[in-house]
Amino acid sequence: MALVRCVRLAAGLPATAVFARRALAELAGAFEDVVTPMVRRTLRDPAERARALDALRAMSLKIGYAVLSYAHLTRRGRPVEVAALAGAVTRLYDDLIDGDADPLLDDRLGELFGLRPFVPRGDLERLLAELCHQIAHRLHPLPAATPFTALHELHGHQCQSRRQREPGLTPDLLEKITRGKGALANLTLCSLVHPLMDPRERELVMALGEAFQSLDDCMDVEHDRRAGVSTLPSLGIVTLPDVARRMRALRPALAARYGRAPARQYSGMIFFLLLKTVVGRRLPILGRLARRLAARSTVLTVFTRGDEALPPAVPTMSAQTEGERS
């Protein structure tokens, strides 16, 4: 039913499919040209290197495709290398935040994103710093700090998101964490394309980010429940139809801001993400099949959640106790 009510978004699917085929091929090439050499140079352990390459490549395609879709929407070129790098940064950063028990990690990454002197601890942090440096190197010198300003603010919300593993987290705080994380993540990525947004576009980009975060949480609801992570969908506070309504309501604002034709194609991408989520939730067997096929198909990679670059974090004692009780 959520998809039926969003059928107008599907009008852009043909153009989206054509764009996606070209964009994903370009991103795959950029990853091999730019990211792979850095990974091979920085990570010395062969098993760690192989795991990282697989995970970073998958996220590079997913996030990179979103960045290039926004660039196409705003008619601001095709920053393929920056988009590929941004996806790799996203995967590695998320895994470091979720998997590292070092109490000083947050401060170190805050220094990196605040463009202050950064002393990495270990190869993975060194790789993250190199990826960020390569993004900054490819941006125009004047607004280069703008995405990092948003990233620095996002880092604060990501650190707070660890509280989603705490029992008894209030819905109000959970909503604040979720909305801030989603809004600032999309703002950071879109700032790589358009660093100097006016306030109205910034507001639209952040509203899209909140909706994308809720959609991602809907897709991962079963995984989050198994991991002991509270999200608005896992608690039943936000449903997939709620997210679909929010996406549908943003369509007129996209058309008014960017024009009907670009907004139609971007809306096709949104419908594709909704379709992906519905299939993953209602037809999990197809999701598992897509994960098996993704290793052989660049296009199918965007259907799958993807693996972590780091081994999953060891559950805390309280998480283990809750798991035993259930």
Return d(Cα 164, Cα 185) in angstroms, integer.
Answer: 17
pLDDT tens track, the chain, 326 positions: 667 778 888 888 999 999 999 999 999 999 999 999 999 999 989 999 999 999 999 999 999 999 999 999 999 999 999 999 999 999 999 988 887 667 789 999 999 888 788 999 989 999 999 999 999 888 866 555 677 788 888 998 898 888 898 888 899 999 999 999 999 999 999 999 998 899 999 999 999 999 999 999 998 888 888 888 999 999 999 999 999 999 999 999 999 999 999 999 999 999 988 888 887 776 665 555 555 555 555 555 554 555 555 544 444 433 343 343 33
Residue 179, number of CB atoms within 10 A of its CB: 19
Looking at residue 306, its pLDDT comes to 53
What are the structural domains of the chain? 20-306 (1.10.600.10)
Q: Within 10 A of 206 (CB to CB), how many other CB atoms are there?
A: 21
Q: How far apart are alpha carbons 214 and 200 in whole angstroms?
A: 22
pLDDT of 33 reads: 97
What pLDDT shows up at residue 68? 96
The predicted structure's pLDDT at residue 117 = 87
For the record, the structure tokens of 308 come out as 């972590």
Q: Cα angle vertex 248, ends 242, 253, to 5°? A: 130
**CA distances in angstroms from 295 to 18, 133, 155, listed in the order given:** 21, 29, 31
Among 194, 69, 71, 90, which residue's Cα sits nearest to residue 140? Answer: 194
pLDDT at residue 296, rounded to an integer: 54
Q: Using an 8 Å Cβ cutoff, are 164 and 230 in contact?
A: yes
Amino acid at 167: P
Tell me if 34 sits within 8 A of 295, measured CB to CB: no
How would DSSP label each residue in 209-254? Answer: HHHHHHHHHHHTHHHHHHHT---TTTTTSS-HHHHHHHHHHHHHHH
> Which tokens sit at 300?
């199918």
3-state helix, strand, coil in the chain (%, to 5): 75, 0, 25
List the Cα angle 14/16/21 in 5-degree steps.
100
